[in-house]
Copies of this chain bind each other. A is one copy, B any other.
Amino acid sequence: MTGYPLPIRRLIGEFSKFPGIGEKTAARLAAFVLQSSTPDMERLAETILEVKKKITLCRVCYNLAEQDLCDICRDASRDRGIICVVEDTDSLVAIEESGGFKGTYHVLHGVLSPADGIGPEQLHLADLARRVKDDGVREVLVATNPSVQGETTALLIKRLLNEMDVTVTRIALGVPLGGNLKYIDKMTMAKAIEFRRGV
């Protein structure tokens, strides 16, 4: 890519840092930037900065939020008696899109993985226990991915909440083992929520 002027080479370099974007694709994206109107690209740059500036984590559930509380925690129609625990916001979005869940969430932003130094502290599990205790939660539905770490995390949550007056359930195995929640179709996701079982 040495034949391009420096700013374009720099842009290709920046695009190449994105996951799954190789040098050829980065060059195609940079060519699109070149061809696009300046106002369009100003809007793109602004939108990138807006995401960095405005998006924080909800202080209750750690979902992505534009304010102190996320859209779901601010929604009075959501059932606060049931908390769905997910590994990441992609899983949360997949569950929301299935329409099968009307409670609130707890986003771990990871999964138990001692080898990577991710223990109960990193997953905000103490906050989860506090929510269960303070808010009279009757059910915690663990919707971590159906992987070894996801199952281990589910068992840890079950043990953590053992002494409390709460039912811990696990998303039904309708989602294929080894899969990733964000790629599941909506019907399967809704079924998996409907057939949730005790841990």
- Using a CB–CB cutoff of 8 Å, the interface residues on chain A facing chain B are 1-8, 10-11, 14, 17-21, 25, 27-34, 36, 38, 41-55, 64-66, 70-71, 89-90, 92-97
Contacts and interface: CB of A to CB of B under 8 A. Distances in A.
Q: How many copies does the complex hold?
A: 2
B55 A49 contact: no
B66 A48 contact: no
A166 B41 CA distance: 43
Summarize A's interface: helix, strand, loop or mixed: helix
A96 B4 CA distance: 10
A20 B31 contact: no
Given A3-B94, A11-B47, 18 more contacts: A2-B93, A2-B97, A3-B92, A3-B93, A3-B95, A3-B96, A7-B51, A7-B55, A10-B50, A11-B51, A14-B43, A14-B44, A18-B32, A30-B51, A34-B51, A41-B49, A41-B52, A42-B52
B96 A14 contact: no
